[in-house]
Structure 1
């Protein structure tokens, strides 16, 4: 019944064939029941409908059944044809005047709102015309149409009009359910792709982080081949420990992301752990204002997110400049605000921040995955991220996460 989200042209042609056949059959039946029928006018109207529909079907076959904007003109034509038939058969006294509602219902599901309003106004004018100018119904002998016959006509008109509207609504319901299932499938596919992209981004980021110590180990190993000494061995041991720490963090992050380590942590503990991951020279440049020391927050990935924000801010600032980390509560949320004294975000980055592999730094320094990871983390924890430039210069990134109940036990 539907083609490309609109009413199928084939169905429209079929409905017009059925309407013409129904009009002709109705005229024959009521004529047989003794009602006077002006065959010249009414038969001519039915014949015109048949001819125009045959031409319409031929034309639609030529253009591949792509009706597009012509549907409104057909509905207007059919409304005028119905008005003409009703004019000669009693006007609003005719029970089949109910089919105006059928036409409006059909238009409401297939046309724009402005077209439906226009058709409604046209129908109103047609009803006003029929009220004043329609030729009254009467029997072939000149007497009034019996009340029983009118009641029977109303019953038939209600059954036909109600059956059509019901069939149309059922078709709409099936289409709505089909579209809902399609939306759910696309949403699940999108979520799956985002999860895959998140994992790929994390894996790429940690691979990048491992490349430095592994490169150092490789150089130290080459050095030991030629000149074995304790200092070179100490470098290898240190860098190996560093690799193990990175891998351990990756394993912990995977557990947290899958809910295996979902217990809340004290904010002060998470902040301290993140700061301890920074080299001493960078840590000394971070000014911390912790105004939510007793608050609890989900552990999952928060340490890594804070490290991303702090490292980005430190890299964006001059070596002598400090970076601010401000943590405070606001309503039921915890806000982790990181401010730097750098050049701030470019307009392009403000439009596309959080997209993977998009960075304003040299590709050798940044991979464009940091803010993407932070955004995905916030979304998974029902939080959000705010990115802006400060009026006095520099960038400000705020991670907003829901605060856990103070009664929840902190993770050890």
Structure 2
């Protein structure tokens, strides 16, 4: 049996309690042997008929709902009470050992049909009329009939009260459940809208960055052309050897700086472009190199980045640009943790390994590590320990989703020697997965 939002019972299968009563009823004839010293065939026949009726009701009730179901329950309560009164009549009437259970019958009905308070009332009325008729027909004084009727009325009252309280408690629980469901749905919608708004802002920033970087490339091209012109003119001018060498060194350093700016612009331009292609096999060493180069601007004065990528590391299945985004986020997070801890000699280690049939990439730092209360919530949406100007609480969540898209996993832990460790794992791809593991 399940419950509808309005507290009404909706049965998806036969009533198990009714089937249980139906199975037990014929077996109660054993009590006749223990109490009456013989089997009462009439009582046995009534119990069998009652059991068949209960079994039929258990299956029939699954087809009913609303008022038809309520009327069916009320009718079945009356029929059940009549069956029991007939058993009492068959086993001695008012002198039957079963007559004392008549007053408990409304309570039993209230237990079986807790969803319908009127069931106990109907059973009580039938029992009062039935016990009164048995008392009068067997020649007992009317006062005894009134006494029995009063006892049945009292138990009926308790049955109705208990059933009503059960229904109120059930309705309150359902209301609380609905309210909790509505609240969770509202919170989920709010998180979705916030994530969508943030994604739209990031996309806008990406487009603006791509436009700005395109504009930067134009003056850089002019600067490179002018540097080449100056170098050619320098060779044509009659200068002292020392002065010529000094000027050539200055031009070479300037050209190297411009080329570095161009490389950064190209990396950012590729990073900001949204990838629609499917995941492909890629070399982790190349992806790590791109991410470290992009993060170098942020980490230059915070931590030294060390990369250990063995040459036999197998390729993995991923979208390179998305993977660069994930690694860049992890590197920047590590730098932020080291910076906030005040550590002077910050160090970040990016290490690749092969473990069995898995390719593992570890991003470790010697910062303060994750507090226990933070570690369990790292991948919750909008959870962050950074200030509002630094963190949104979506970086690790998005990183995990991007990795799961290509069959990889992202987990976090603390290092035994101190600091944090982020673990990225892929199934090994290609023949290189058969090579031996590289121990870290």
TM-score by length of 1: 0.46
Larger radius of gyration: 2
TM-score by length of 2: 0.44
